[in-house]
Structure 1
Amino acid sequence: MTATSAILSAAELRSELAGPRPPVLLDVRWQLGGPDQRPAYEAGHLPGAVYIDLDRELAGPAGSGGRHPLPDPEAFGAVMRRAGVTADTPVVVYDGGQGWAAARAWWLLRWTGHPDVRVLDGGLAAWTAADGALSADRVTPTEGDFKPTPGAAGLLDADGAAERARAGVLLDARAGERYRGEVEPIDPVGGHIPGAVSAPTTENLGPDGRFLSAAELRARFEGLGVTEGTPVGVYCGSGVSAAQQVLALEVAGIASDLYAGSWSHWSYDPSRPVATGPEPQ
């Protein structure tokens, strides 16, 4: 297992923005069930950052595929080109914290073949804590040339997730009470995919909102049953927070696949089995 540079610090980003090959910046602030974050973006964002709406631009219409199914690749490519994304320019994505939404954009860009995309560790809060400037200027990027080629990152469907739980490790990134089936505020039924292991995304971050070190993350995932060569899958409620878990695994040097439909897709079909309680089975 080798650690990667899927994330970067505010200081590293500041240096790259001042360098000869500055990255394209994408602001993906988002709150589950919360207000639209565009007004917050317009009030202040990293200079040059383009706002991306997760619900409308990083997901397809909600339905039988889940609450945040993957967007049509061509529609996603058009959004990225409008944001100035090119095939040969680095991309840095940030959100307001937790890394959920930023990781969704990161994963989609990786899945569709972009070679150089990273997440700002700690998001907007880390930038401002490091005395990073914010701007309220309107951003009009030059049209990019990025053309998506899906398949560059691992993707699971419901059958694949069930198989991963049997023949590998399937991590459930939701809060423990939802995994156990004690509460379910959004989806049709509470509980988890039989065999899945509870692994809340909150445990990937330190008290400052930044990711734990690669060594700490490796130790965490090893404690959840992930060993060298273990096939790993991740799901959550609708495929958003699970992307943050995939990112944490990447930081730890562990490859994993995303069940994008996640629990909202699994639980949509009443014939699929549901487990409850603290144990995987």
Structure 2
Amino acid sequence: MTRDTDPADDDKTSADTDTAPADADTTRRRLLQAAAGATVAGAASTAGCLGVTTPANVAAQYEVSGNVAHFVGPGWLADNRESAVVLDARPAERFRVERIYGSRRVPFDAITSRVSTDDGEVPDIDAIAAAFGDIGVSPDDDVLVYGASVGSRVTRTAFALAAVGHAGDIRVLNGGLSGWNGRLGTGSRSAPTPTDYEPDPATETWVTRDWLAERVGTFNGDGPGLVDTRVPEAYLGSPGSDALDPDHDRHGHLPGALNVHWVGNVAGNRMTEPGRLVQLYEVDAEIDRSDTVVVYGDENVNPTSTWLTLRAIGFEDVRLYDGGFGEWANVDGDRGRYPVETATSVVIETEGSVGGDDSSGDFSCTG
């Protein structure tokens, strides 16, 4: 990778920018990048047999094939870097240290904001739209979101764009920053020119507390599918478990919900292999891709991983309960309308991990 300070960077110091001399190791890295050549796949096929892992070799791990929506590999970004708006969903301190050159940092608190209605909490569309406008995103822009991996900060950003009715394409970088072998920026960066983002709320992307209350007793039966994305201990309301939120008045899950922990969607820095995801949700969990599916967690960030994953593998109507179990468990008034269950449960076992160093970059000459 080459590291550059963005033209708009300010407050640059030797600690903020990459000023290392072009020593032998640096030169070798640059030569290896140049040797990666025109195609990622071609470079990977030769570099591995030489016992060398090139930037292109690493990037090749994160390419996305098959009929998968939303998730794209580094090759897509390399081809569309000039036309796509790139959003960094990581915390500010990590953004300043290193980022994809020219990317804009997502104001994360704003895009998770909610507003109360008579039916329950819903995304604060005006605040979310204003936040995207503040970083210069327009409704028609094609947007790519990345983070350290494909974790829930990234998927929450994708959901927020969908919720305000974003007209441009919304994509997520498989592999996150780890898979990017192009230009990098460092240091502080002045804000881009704000735009006036006029939202067109996509109310079909979320449901409310009362929408769910009207369907209690039908989930994963005659009515929509309902997926609890929390760890099994929280779903089961296991007494004494550290997974239970001490601020909740009640523990357990919404009646009829089945449990598929959201981490099963992620394998380190990348999305889980699509065939395994189809097995997990359609075969193991027996969810119908043609039916409405609602996902929820304690809050409104982690379950967006399942929201985007299901959409990516072809589920037609996936919605988020933005209020989350925190709202449901602590509702005021007639709690009989908003029951919590522990006696009946369906836990689908998952395997997954989020982030961390990827150590599988070496190409095998035996295939």
TM-score range, shorter chain: 0.7 to 0.9
Mapped partners of 1:65, 1:239: distance in 2? 17
Q: Does the CA-based 8 Å contact 1:87-1:114 persist in structure 2?
A: yes
Q: Does the CA-based 8 Å contact 1:44-1:134 persist in structure 2?
A: yes
Deviations 1:157-192 (A, max 9, x none): 123335262512100111111111123135413211
Deviations 1:225-276 (A, max 9, x none): 2124222110011111111101000111103111111111111126121112
Q: Does the CA-based 8 Å contact 1:6-1:117 persist in structure 2?
A: yes
Cα-Cα RMSD:
2.8
Partner residue, 2:225: 169
Q: Does the CA-based 8 Å contact 2:228-2:260 persist in structure 1?
A: yes
**2:313 matched to 1:247?**
no
Partner residue, 2:162: 110
**2:57 matched to 1:5?**
no
What's the CA shift for 1:124? 2.7
Partner SS, residue 256 of structure 1: strand
Segment drifting more, 98-107 vs 153-162: 153-162
Partner residue, 1:41: 95
Partner SS, residue 101 of structure 2: coil
Q: Does the CA-based 8 Å contact 1:99-1:122 persist in structure 2?
A: no
Mapped partners of 2:74, 2:204: distance in 1? 26
Distance 1:224 1:87, change over 3 A: same
Structure 1 unpaired stretches of 5+: 30-36
Segment drifting more, 107-116 vs 195-204: 107-116
Q: Match for 2:210 among 159, 162, 167?
A: 159
Q: Does the CA-based 8 Å contact 1:171-1:198 persist in structure 2?
A: yes
Partner residue, 1:274: 340
Superposition map of 1:82-161 within 5 A: 82-115=134-167, 116-127=169-180, 130=181, 133-151=184-202, 153-161=204-212
Segment drifting more, 243-252 vs 148-157: 148-157
Q: Does the CA-based 8 Å contact 1:173-1:234 persist in structure 2?
A: yes
Partner SS, residue 99 of structure 2: coil
Partner residue, 2:30: none
Partner SS, residue 161 of structure 2: helix
Distance 1:42 1:201, change over 3 A: same
Mapped partners of 2:149, 2:95: distance in 1? 14
**2:104 matched to 1:50?**
yes
Sequence identity percentage:
26
Partner SS, residue 160 of structure 1: helix
Partner residue, 1:34: none
Deviations 1:108-158 (A, max 9, x none): 11121112111222323333xx46634224143132343111126421112
Distance 1:3 1:192, change over 3 A: farther
**2:298 matched to 1:237?**
yes
Structure 2 unpaired stretches of 5+: 1-65, 348-367
**2:264 matched to 1:212?**
no
Distance 1:139 1:13, change over 3 A: farther
User: Which structure has the larger Rg over C-alpha atoms?
Assistant: 2
Distance 1:81 1:217, change over 3 A: same
| Number of residue pairs aligned between Structure 1 and Structure 2 | 265
Q: Does the CA-based 8 Å contact 2:224-2:293 persist in structure 1?
A: yes
Mapped partners of 2:289, 2:191: distance in 1? 45
Partner SS, residue 100 of structure 2: coil
**2:322 matched to 1:260?**
yes
Q: Does the CA-based 8 Å contact 2:69-2:313 persist in structure 1?
A: no
Partner residue, 2:124: 72
Partner residue, 2:79: 15
Mapped partners of 1:7, 1:85: distance in 2? 20
Mapped partners of 1:228, 1:60: distance in 2? 28
Mapped partners of 1:70, 1:49: distance in 2? 28
Q: Does the CA-based 8 Å contact 1:204-1:217 persist in structure 2?
A: yes
Distance 1:266 1:70, change over 3 A: same
What's the CA shift for 1:76? 1.7
